[in-house]
Amino acid sequence: MESVAVIVQPGFSPFEFGLACEAFGLDRSDDGIPPFDFRIVAPEPGAIESNMAFSINVENDLAFADEADLVVVTPIPRSTWSQVDTRVAGVVRRAAERGAWVLSVCSGSFVLAASGILDGRRATTHWKYADLMARMYPAIDVDPDVLYVQDGRIITSAGTAAGLDACLHLLRQELGAEMTNTIARRMVVPPQRDGGQAQFITKPLAEVRSQSLAPVTDWMLQHLREDLTVDQLAAKAHMSPRTFARRFKADHGATPAAWLGRQRLIQAQRLLEQTDLGLDAIAYESGFGSAAVLRQNFARVLGMTPTAYRARFTCSGEAAPAA
């Protein structure tokens, strides 16, 4: 991926627009991150008013989006959801047809839906509007309970910060885990929230903060090799297993097992990129136990083998061993 077009339309949301700029538009070459040819485009170049009573000046029309490797669609006002600009919908449709990445943030998913590229696919949007999308577009499998969904090279995300999670998810596939972690550190955000996490925390925020499980999750990260059970983790947290599992899910949007599996996968990605360890050693170090289980998890989550991942993203100066 070398070029990125971010489409803005009248009434755009500054925060969601800004996170796309932050993820793809900044030059981080001083950190070893290859820069993208990043451009903001609009159906009608000129002053584009936001939903916060200020405007930005957009110099580019949609032509660049017809060539970009990634097309990002930012939110549009609710009043336009049933009358999506056909020019924008056409750009999105052509991008999908030529195999480019297409990513929507929050209600930008309604543009993707209007273009037809989500028909027969699973997708998401902000939970508040998921039912409406499902009614407007019954051919789409709308999931209201996740942060983002990838179906092929199309990514839809929920509101605000979930859009940033989706951007990092895409960058991880294009740049690898270590470079994406570098980007996340620069932004001072977690490097990865799994797309299957819940969109919202079910407990009051004050209670979540008072019952922080950070010491336990830190300990889990230091003991990825071990066979960690809920009973063991609950004892660390001084809770009953049932209470621990419930609070962990409420705080993290995932079960302890699902969260741990994701952290093990991230560790395996890091080792594949930065070391010449064989698959058996990486499986041991990351807690998967065997190369076969490691391969199964890579195929299920990343859609590729560990060997293919290493060939694409290795940072090691020596040739990786056959695996």
CATH number for the domain including 269? Answer: 1.10.10.60
Is residue 319, in this structure, part of any structural domain at all? no
pLDDT of residue 202: 34
pLDDT tens for each residue of the chain, 323 residues long? 999 999 999 999 999 999 999 999 999 999 999 999 999 999 999 999 999 989 999 999 999 999 999 999 999 999 999 999 999 999 999 999 999 999 999 999 999 999 999 999 999 999 899 999 999 999 999 998 888 999 999 999 988 788 998 999 999 889 988 888 888 888 877 665 554 444 443 333 333 433 578 889 889 999 999 999 999 999 999 999 999 999 998 887 788 998 899 889 888 988 988 888 999 999 999 999 999 999 999 888 888 899 988 887 765 444 344 34
CATH number of the domain enclosing 49? 3.40.50.880
pLDDT of residue 232: 93
190, 184 contact by CB (below 8 A): yes
pLDDT of residue 29: 92
Rounded to two decimals, the pTM is 0.72
pLDDT of residue 203: 31
Tell me: do 108 and 59 sit in the same domain: yes
Tell me: do 96 and 176 sit in the same domain: yes
Q: CA distances (Å), 204 to each of 5, 98, 261, 292, in order?
A: 38, 45, 27, 41
76, 107 contact by CB (below 8 A): yes
Exposure letters 157-196 (e unless 16+ CB within 10 A, then b): bbbebbbbbbbbbbbbbbbbbbbbbbbbeebebebbbbbb
* Size of the chain in residues: 323
Long-range contacts of 95-99 (CB under 8 A, 24+ apart): 95/65, 95/66, 95/68, 95/71, 96/153, 96/154, 99/153
Tell me: do 63 and 96 sit in the same domain: yes
Domain hosting 115: range is 3-187
pLDDT of residue 185: 84
Single-letter code of the amino acid located at 19: L
Tell me: do 43 and 129 sit in the same domain: yes
Is residue 321, in this structure, part of any structural domain at all? no
- What is the longest distance spanned by two Cα atoms in the chain? 60
| Beta strand ranges found along the chain (DSSP E) | 3-7, 37-41, 46-49, 55-58, 70-73, 101-104, 122-123, 141-142, 148-151, 154-157
Last residue of one domain, picked from the residues 187, 219, 236: 187
Is residue 198, in this structure, part of any structural domain at all? no
Is residue 112, in this structure, part of any structural domain at all? yes
